[in-house]
Amino acid sequence: AQKVTQAQTEISVVEKEDVTLDCVYETRDTTYYLFWYKQPPSGELVFLIRRNSFDEQNEISGRYSWNFQKSTSSFNFTITASQVVDSAVYFCALSSYNTDKLIFGTGTRLQVFP
């Protein structure tokens, strides 16, 4: 069975702090895909990143970076120098080559205070 665990329910930081959102996944498949989505207070869901299981290279996009480690089944998301606009619920998700399901974690609510 596939599973995504986001153990951090809520995180509060002050602007300019760095923050890491954890994501741990479970799957028996060797080919799988990991995603992060953002849900700001306005409610829409916005795609951030997709990673496949064969690409463990970390990725950086501006203040956002992602650390994919197969050895620990983790796909963590770091925001550097957080801003108030980063306040949102962030979801990690998993799909695999052998199934057409998309499994989401329970989400982490990030609050960035000025």
Residue ranges in contact with another protein by CB under 8 A: 6, 9, 33, 35, 37, 43-47, 50, 52, 91, 93, 95-97, 99-107
Supply the minimum distance, in Å, between the C-beta of residue 93 and another protein. Answer: 8
Instruction: Pick the closest to residue 68 from 92, 37, 98, 104 (CA basis).
Output: 92
Tokens of 75: 């796909």
For another protein, which is the closer residue by CB, 19 or 51?
Answer: 51
For another protein, which is the closer residue by CB, 71 or 101?
Answer: 101
For another protein, which is the closer residue by CB, 3 or 16?
Answer: 3
Supply the minimum distance, in Å, between the C-beta of residue 43 and another protein. Answer: 6
Tokens of 50: 């997709």
